[in-house]
Amino acid sequence: MSPKASAAALGERGRGHDTTSDRRLAPASRRVLADEVADAIREAIFSGRIDLGQRLIEEDLATMLNVSRGPVREALALLTQEGLTKIERHRGTTVAPLSVGELHEIYSLRSSLESLAADWVCRNATDEDFAHIASVLGGFDALPSPPTRPAVAALDVEFHDAIFLAAHHERLYRAWGGIRSQIFLYLVNRGALRVDFALTWRGDHDELLQVLRQRKLVAARKFVEVHIDGSYKRALAASGAQKAQADDGDIKGPA
């Protein structure tokens, strides 16, 4: 049973291992398995089956996913690089809680990264790059009606990922990869999407694409900054509302 199959329940038990008769291939096999374990844990976090702020115990995850602790340890290291998990001295690895302080850091970084990406897209993007961005945008029309918040959030991240790819800036794309998963969580769980996303998402992002196609650096940078700032302010307002509710005892915050 693969980690991906086990991820649906994150509770099925069993044992499995990956072997190869050629020692030269063994490290690659371990890396692939670690990637699959990371995919399973990431999806469990995205879907809410693992809570924000929850402690992650290697032995428990290994049992749930039918793998040894080695791939789990590697997977958690990958997720820590993405900012989805963090290592605390006395608690071990926990899921990032998405605090207001983290919101400030992530969105200030995102604004800088996407402004730079806009510059490089205006200079370097090919017709094929713009066609790829447009094809991602067109994916909105294929979503179930009415579209769900997780589905639109996933498409939003894919759209911005396509912009970073079109910049043809390898280090910039890697930097974006360090916050991409956290951005998805803010869109799904922290109100960064517009409330009327079903009506406005496609038009907003089509306008962004058209600005980039014009290759006007100043206009593109300004549009991106306003676009990201809107998402930041929505997430900030939602975080404040959630904190107020938690203080009143109406809801419970992450453990």
What's the confidence (pLDDT) of residue 252? 42
Phi, psi of 231 (to 5 degrees): -65, -45
Please give the share of the chain, as a percent, with pLDDT higher than 70.
Answer: 82
What's the confidence (pLDDT) of residue 126? 98
CA distance 178 to 85: 11
Please give the share of the chain, as a percent, with pLDDT higher than 90.
Answer: 67
CA distance 155 to 2: 26
Q: Which of 229, 248, 251 is nearest to 103 (CA)?
A: 229
What's the confidence (pLDDT) of residue 22? 45
Contact in structure between 80 and 93 (CB atoms under 8 Å):
yes
Q: Reply yes or no: is the peptide bond before residue 27 cis, omega within 30 of 0.
A: no
In DSSP terms, 86 is beta-bridged to 94
**Residue range 79-89, pLDDT digits in tens:** 999 889 998 88
By mean pLDDT, which of 64-78, 100-114, 152-166, 231-245 is the weakest? 231-245
By mean pLDDT, which of 60-69, 81-90, 181-190, 194-203 is the weakest? 81-90
Which one is predicted more confidently, 226 or 87? 226
The tally of CA atoms less than 13 A away on the side-chain side of residue 243 is 11
pLDDT at 243 over 90: no
CA distance 36 to 99: 28
Contact in structure between 174 and 183 (CB atoms under 8 Å):
no
pLDDT mean over 18-45: 68
What's the confidence (pLDDT) of residue 27? 46
What's the confidence (pLDDT) of residue 18? 42
**Residue range 148-180, pLDDT digits in tens:** 999 999 999 999 999 999 999 999 999 999 999
Contact in structure between 190 and 72 (CB atoms under 8 Å):
no
**Residue range 4-24, pLDDT digits in tens:** 544 444 543 333 444 344 444
Domains and CATH numbers, the chain: 3-95 (1.10.10.10), 100-247 (1.20.120.530)
The chain-wide mean pLDDT, for the chain, equals 85
> Which tokens in the block code for residue 101?
């302080």
**Alpha-carbon separation of residue 35 from 32, 52, 71, 167, 181 (angstroms):** 5, 21, 8, 26, 15
What confidence tier does 242 reach under pLDDT thresholds 50, 70, 90?
Answer: low
Phi, psi of 95 (to 5 degrees): -75, 135
In angstroms, how far is the first alpha carbon of the chain from the final one?
31
Is residue 193 classed exposed, middle or buried when 0-12, 13-18 and 19+ CB atoms within 10 A define those classes?
Answer: buried
What's the confidence (pLDDT) of residue 15? 38
The tally of CA atoms less than 13 A away on the side-chain side of residue 219 is 11
What's the confidence (pLDDT) of residue 166? 98
Q: DSSP characters for 70-131?
A: HHHHHHHHHHHHHTSEEEETTTEEEE----HHHHHHHHHHHHHHHHHHHHHHHHH--HHHHH
**Residue range 99-155, pLDDT digits in tens:** 888 899 999 999 999 999 999 999 999 999 999 999 999 999 999 999 999 999 999
Q: How many helices (H) and strands (E) does the chain have?
A: 11, 3
Which one is predicted more confidently, 101 or 2? 101
CA distance 15 to 17: 7
pLDDT mean over 215-227: 96
